């Protein structure tokens, strides 16, 4: 029997999962779980890249794990685990750090954007080193598991390229160490935008809660957030991300959740106004969130989650240890 192709991915536990994370990542994990062998983790080590309150972090980790299942990941099909519970992630990350250059990390747009945010907070003296080096932890997250594909949003494309470069570099230097992964970017919704500033990506750590929809938001709040989403004064429903970023973002959200192509959505909304568009977006988002939240509140206090996470962490450890043992041998760290 032909074995399944493997995928690995994770979401950073900096806040509650957003609609952007859902459309850009989780929705696809759910779709692909039948076809692929999947390793999906709660990226808690990535969450300490910038300062985070410890109680908040703890809460985020559990909530994210429960949300993965509430969104439809089947614990019998997908390995969902907590990143820090597989120690090899940090071990390999150090080895990759020693095989990378500051120049290539400095070129990462996410580093430029996120360090700019720190500067905007008047913290010019405080750009955490982890902000520069986290793409290497991400590369380790991937390379440990020899995946065929890494499902990501557009914003992470550059990090996958870095991962591939590092893997090729180390393969050339030490012999065949790593499998070169391919990125897997969804056709629709690979970048859901901020509702208040639609030229920026929707982010769970944004300081303005009106700019994102969290999967655990109260439906009444969601309604308000969508109603106050920034559009333009043209009152023309057309997909044009450059000139009409706000309207295009609503079209993309609707298209993804209603499972319709952008063309079909444009046709459906032709001759309609923005009020109508927003109401339809509210409907599809509310249906989704209600379903997720019902499952979430049933799950969050059950013991099942810990059992599922532990079983999957064991599966992940098995692969990660095998890979690390090979790496240690090939680069000369193993003296025996
Ligand atoms: N707005 C988005 N649209 C589509 N996909 C998105 N992803 C994130 N935001 C969007 C995808 O979700 C996965 C996990 O992302 P992450 O949380 O690990 O990192 P991130 O991209 O930095 O996401 P956030 O929400 O913006 O986090 P913070 O606020 O902590 O920086 C990835 O596949 C990502 O592409």
For 196-207, write each residue's pLDDT tens digit: 999 999 998 888
Question: Active-site residue 311, yes or no?
Answer: no
Question: Active-site residue 201, yes or no?
Answer: yes
Task: Name the residue of 25, 57, 67, 135 to mutate for ligand 1: max ligand atoms within 8 A of Cβ.
Answer: 25
Active-site position among 191, 201, 225, 244: 201
Confidence of residue 127 (pLDDT cuts 50, 70, 90): confident
CA of 184 relative to ligand 1 center, distance in Å: 15
β-pair type (37-43, 6-12):
parallel
Nearest atom in ligand 1 to 110's CA: 22
Nearest atom in ligand 1 to 193's CA: 1
- Determine the Cα–Cα distance for residues 86 and 311; give it in Å rounded to an integer: 12
CATH placement of domain 209-297: 1.10.240.10
Residue 14 assigned as binding residue: yes
In the CATH hierarchy, which fold is given to the domain comprising 6-185+303-331? Rossmann fold (3.40.50)
Q: Please state which of the ranges 25-34, 180-189, 283-292, 306-315 shows the lowest mean pLDDT.
A: 180-189
DSSP 83: G
CA of 197 relative to ligand 1 center, distance in Å: 16
Question: Active-site residue 54, yes or no?
Answer: no
Whether pLDDT at 3 is above 90: no
Domain boundaries, the chain: 6-185+303-331, 209-297
Is residue 181 within 8 A of residue 148, CB to CB? The reply is yes
CA of 117 relative to ligand 1 center, distance in Å: 16
β-pair type (149-151, 78-82):
unpaired
- Determine the Cα–Cα distance for residues 286 and 275; give it in Å rounded to an integer: 16
For tokens 């109680």, the residue is 55
Whether pLDDT at 1 is above 60: no
């Amino acid at each position: 029997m032909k074995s399944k192709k493997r995928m690995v991915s994770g979401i950073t536990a900096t806040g509650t999962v957003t609609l952007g994370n859902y459309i850009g990542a989780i929705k696809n994990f759910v779709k692909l779980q039948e076809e692929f062998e999947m390793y999906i983790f709660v990226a808690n080590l990535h969450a300490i890249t910038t300062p985070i309150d410890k109680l908040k972090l703890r809460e985020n980790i559990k909530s994210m794990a429960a949300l993965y299942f509430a969104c439809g990941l089947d614990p019998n099909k997908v390995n969902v685990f907590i990143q820090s519970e597989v120690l090899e992630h940090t071990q390999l990350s150090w080895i990759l750090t020693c095989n990378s250059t500051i120049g290539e990390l400095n070129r990462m747009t996410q580093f430029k954007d996120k360090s700019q945010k720190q500067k905007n907070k008047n913290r010019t003296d405080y750009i955490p080193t982890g902000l520069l080096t986290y793409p290497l932890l991400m590369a380790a997250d991937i390379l440990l598991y020899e995946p065929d594909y890494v499902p990501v949003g557009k914003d992470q494309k550059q990090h996958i390229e870095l991962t591939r470069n590092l893997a090729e570099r180390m393969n050339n230097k030490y012999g065949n160490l790593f499998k070169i992964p391919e990125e897997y970017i969804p056709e629709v919704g690979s970048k859901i935008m901020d509702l208040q500033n639609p030229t920026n990506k929707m982010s769970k750590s944004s300081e303005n809660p009106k700019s994102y929809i969290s999967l655990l938001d109260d439906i009444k709040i969601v309604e308000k957030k969508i109603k106050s989403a920034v559009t333009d004064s043209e009152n023309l429903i057309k997909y044009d991300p450059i000139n009409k970023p706000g309207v295009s973002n609503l079209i993309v959200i609707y298209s993804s959740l209603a499972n319709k192509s952008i063309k079909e959505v444009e046709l459906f909304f032709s001759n309609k106004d923005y009020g109508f568009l927003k109401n339809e977006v509210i409907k599809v988002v509310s249906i989704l969130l209600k379903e997720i939240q019902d499952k979430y509140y049933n799950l969050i206090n059950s013991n099942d989650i810990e059992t599922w996470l532990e079983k999957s962490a064991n599966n992940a450890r098995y692969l990660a240890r095998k890979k690390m043992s090979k790496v240690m041998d090939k680069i000369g760290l193993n003296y025996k």
